[in-house]
Chain A
C-alpha cells in the first residue's frame, strides 16, 4: 500500500513569513505510516532500552523496531548484541518475555538453539533429513545492523548506512551529559514500569512532549490540586512538588537541536524540592557556575527523534513510544534515578512521578485525553492545517546558541526565548520530512 504521496506538500514551511504548518492527514494517512516504518522506525537510530535493563551476561530485553520484533542481549564478554526476535528456521518468535536471562536461546517451535552472538549452535535430529555435512550457520539469527549506546542509553538501527550514534545525537549529547552525569553515581532504571496504549498517531504523542504551551491549560487542575495539598501543609522539603512552572511566568528557553531532537528548560521556582539539590556542595566542586545553573536551577526536558523522551522536572523519567497503527500508539515509561540515592529522596521522587506521569496519575491522563481529542479531530480535513508558527518571529528566535546554550557548550540549530514556543516542533517536522523523503541529513550526513 505504498501509494505515492507528495510528502513535501504536507509541510507549509515559509520561514521568511513566520509560517509553519503541518497537514493534519499526516496523523491518519496509512501511506504516511508505511513511509515512516520504512525510513524512520526501520531505517534509522531508535532508542531500545537502558543499560541497567541488562546488567548481567545473558540478560535480554525484547522490543520492536517499527513492526519488527527484536531483542538486545548482554554477551558473556559484556558486549551488547541485538537480533531480530525470529527463529532462523521457520521464524517463530524466540523470546516471549519482556526481560529475562538465558545462557542460550532455545526456539519453542522445533528446538533449535542459539548463543548470545546469534549463532545457531544446534538443530534437532541433525543426523536425519539433512545432508551429512551441512552448515547450520544458515539458521543464524539476523543481527540488528547497528547497536550503540550513549550515557547508558542503547540505540539500534536496522539500516546499516546511518551516521555514528554520537553524530546523530549531535547537540543533544551535552544535554544528555547533564541529564545523566550530575551526581557521582550513574543512573538506573527504578524497578517497575508502565505500558499504555493511546488512540492517537505516534506524532501527536511525540508533539505533546516538547509542547510546553499546553501545560498551564491542560495541567491547571494539577497545579490547583498541588496548591490544595500545600494549603493543608502536609508536604515539605524534597516531598514538595514544584508547581511554579504551571502557574507563574518564569525564565525559560527551548531549542531545535537538529536531527529532530528538541529540548527546553525552565527555571526551578523551588530548587530545594529537586531530589539532587542535597548534593549541591559536592556538585559545586565539579561544575562551573554556568553548568551548576543547568543542573540545579533548571528543569530540563528533551526528546530524541523519533522515540525517546527524557525529563528531569518534578521527577525524572524515560519514555519511549512506537506506532501500532495510524491511530494507536504504545508508550512505555520508566522512572530513572541515581544508583544508591538516599531512601528519602528516592521515595519522594517516586511519589512525585506517580502524582504526574502515569495513566493513573493526576496529569498524564489529561495529556492522553487531549492527544486523543487531537487525533479524532484530525479527520476534520476541511480544516487542513495544524499551526506550529509560535516563536518564528525574529524577536523570539536566535539561529544558533543563546547564552544558556553557550554556558553548557552546545550548538542548537535554533534557540527560542521561551520554553513554550513551537520552534521545537518545527525542528521535528523538518527532520521528519527529510527522512520520509529519504534525503535526510541523518542518513546521508
Chain B
C-alpha cells in the first residue's frame, strides 16, 4: 500500500525543484541538493542504450558534489556565455511521480518530465526525460542526494544545460 504522505512529500519536492528552475531562482534551487549530491545525465551508447559507469564511460553531465552545479550557475551569471545570454525561458512539466522505495533515511523516486524551452532564435523546443532520484532525509525534510536524467532525445538539436532538461 502506497505511503500517501511520502508520495505527497516527494511530489511536492519535485514540483518545487521544477518551479525554482523555471523561476531561475538558482540559490534556492541549490538548497534542495545535499552537499555531496550527484547530478548525472548519462550519454547514449552507439548500441542505443545509456552509459552506466560514469567513471569509465562518457556522460552528457556527471558531477559528483553540489559544487559542480554551483559552477554551472556561476557560468550562467557571467553574462558572457553566448548560449546562456539571454537565458532561455523554460517550463517544466513534471508528471508520473512514483516512490520506488524507502530505506531508513533514503527514498528512491521516479518521474517523467518534459521541458519547453524558448529563445527568440530557436523558438520553442521540447526535451523529454525520465528522472531517477535518490532523496535523503536530514533535519526533518527531504533533499536531493542524486538526480539522474535519462534523455529521450538521442540526436541533440542545439544544446542544453541543467535547467532545460
A and B associate:
yes
**By the criterion CB–CB under 8 Å, are A190 and B156 in contact?**
no
Which among B62, B156, B161 is the interface contact of A196 at CB below 8 angstroms?
Answer: B156
| Binary CB contact string for chain A from 89 to 116 against chain B (1 if under 8 A, 0 otherwise) | 0000000011110000000000000000
Q: How far is the CA of A53 from the CA of B122 in the complex (A)?
A: 34
**Inside 8 A of A232's CB, which chain B residues have their CB?**
67
B93 contacts A by Cβ under 8 Å: no
**Inside 8 A of B54's CB, which chain A residues have their CB?**
347, 350
Q: How far is the CA of A197 from the CA of B55 in the complex (A)?
A: 27
Q: How far is the CA of A356 from the CA of B46 in the complex (A)?
A: 21
**Inside 8 A of A343's CB, which chain B residues have their CB?**
55-56
Name the segment of B24-32, B75-83, B131-139, B140-148 touching the other chain. Answer: B75-83
**Inside 8 A of A191's CB, which chain B residues have their CB?**
45, 51, 56-58
Interface size on B, residues (CB 8 A): 40
Q: Which of B51, B75, B157 has the most CB of A within 10 A?
A: B75
**By the criterion CB–CB under 8 Å, are B58 and A192 in contact?**
yes
B121 contacts A by Cβ under 8 Å: yes
**By the criterion CB–CB under 8 Å, are B44 and A192 in contact?**
yes
**By the criterion CB–CB under 8 Å, are B43 and A194 in contact?**
yes
B152 contacts A by Cβ under 8 Å: no
How many A residues are at the interface, by size bracket? Answer: 35 or more
A193 contacts B by Cβ under 8 Å: yes
**By the criterion CB–CB under 8 Å, are A190 and B57 in contact?**
yes
**Inside 8 A of A370's CB, which chain B residues have their CB?**
82
Which among B48, B58, B78, B161 is the interface contact of A350 at CB below 8 angstroms?
Answer: B58
**By the criterion CB–CB under 8 Å, are B160 and A225 in contact?**
no
- If A53-B46, A194-B43, A225-B75 touch, whether A359 touches B57 (CB-CB below 8 Å) is no
A185 contacts B by Cβ under 8 Å: no
**By the criterion CB–CB under 8 Å, are A218 and B82 in contact?**
yes
Contacts of B40-78 to chain A: CB distance below 8 A: 41-48, 51, 54-62, 65, 67, 71-72, 74-75, 78
Which among B46, B59, B82, B156 is the interface contact of A366 at CB below 8 angstroms?
Answer: B82
A272 contacts B by Cβ under 8 Å: no
| Binary CB contact string for chain B from 90 to 104 against chain A (1 if under 8 A, 0 otherwise) | 000000000000000
Q: How far is the CA of A197 from the CA of B157 in the complex (A)?
A: 5
**By the criterion CB–CB under 8 Å, are A358 and B60 in contact?**
yes
**Inside 8 A of A225's CB, which chain B residues have their CB?**
71-72, 74-75, 78
Task: Given A347-B54, A358-B43, output 18 extra A-B contacts at Cβ < 8 Å.
Answer: A98-B46, A191-B51, A191-B58, A192-B58, A195-B156, A224-B74, A225-B78, A335-B58, A347-B56, A350-B62, A360-B60, A360-B161, A364-B159, A365-B159, A365-B161, A366-B83, A368-B159, A369-B83
Q: Which residues of A contact B (CB under 8 A)?
A: 53, 61, 97-100, 190-199, 218, 220-222, 224-225, 228-229, 232, 234, 330, 334-335, 343, 346-347, 350-351, 353-354, 358-360, 362, 364-366, 368-370, 372-373, 376
Q: List 18 A-B contacts (CB under 8 A).
A: A98-B48, A192-B45, A194-B60, A196-B156, A196-B159, A197-B155, A225-B78, A335-B58, A346-B55, A350-B56, A350-B57, A350-B62, A359-B156, A360-B156, A362-B71, A365-B159, A369-B159, A370-B82
